[in-house]
Amino acid sequence: MERTFVMFKPDCLERGLLGRILSRFEEKGLRLVAMKMLRVTPDLAKQHYAEHVTKPFYPDLEQFITASPVVATVFSGPEVIRVVREMLGATSGLKAASGTIRGDYSASRQMNLVHASDSPESAAREMAIYFKPAEILQWTPSLAGWLQAPSEV
């Protein structure tokens, strides 16, 4: 089972879309294994978005990501890193396909509602920034056997 870091950004909480978007991951059958609400500080933003710190849009990104609380989560499932990225759609809500989360709810490149890891290396790095190992739970929902065949997990 693969794990991915998924963060519901300030625009998601400000717009009251947390429940609706979380439901899409639950309905897909992805397993929620960690969750916390927090406010991203400027230092945390620089750590999380280290690869973007030198980019021209970074000051706006930091202002945005620190403006209101976020909800940090970890989901697990087969191929979950790719599956979540495909559910989100392209980075910009203006380009994301209809039917994806950003395509349906975002009309912005910056305010794109949800962040998700783009590789196993990013997932490991981002999970470690936001969660202690003991905060990421191991559990098997009762319905797990109706979501995947034993040979798929």
> Residue 57 or 144: which CB sits closer to ligand CMP?
57
**At closest approach, how far in Å is the CB of 127 from ligand CMP?**
15
36 dihedral zone (left: phi>0; alpha: psi -120 to 50; beta) = beta
Clarify whether 52 is annotated catalytic.
no
> Residue 77 or 93: which CB sits closer to ligand CMP?
93
Identified catalytic residue from 74, 115, 116, 127: 115
CA distances (Å), 137 to each of 41, 123, 128, 131, in order?
Answer: 25, 16, 14, 11
* Residue ranges in contact with ligand CMP by CB under 6 A: 49, 52, 57, 60-61, 91, 109-110, 112, 115
| DSSP notation for 55-84 | STTHHHHHHHHTSS-EEEEEEEETTHHHHH
> Residue 58 or 147: which CB sits closer to ligand CMP?
58
Please, which residues bridge with residue 37 across strands? 71
Contact assessment for residue 80 and residue 65, using Cβ atoms and an 8 Å cutoff:
no
**At closest approach, how far in Å is the CB of 101 from ligand CMP?**
12
**At closest approach, how far in Å is the CB of 116 from ligand CMP?**
7
**Residue 56, both tokens:** 């021209």
Residues labelled catalytic: 115
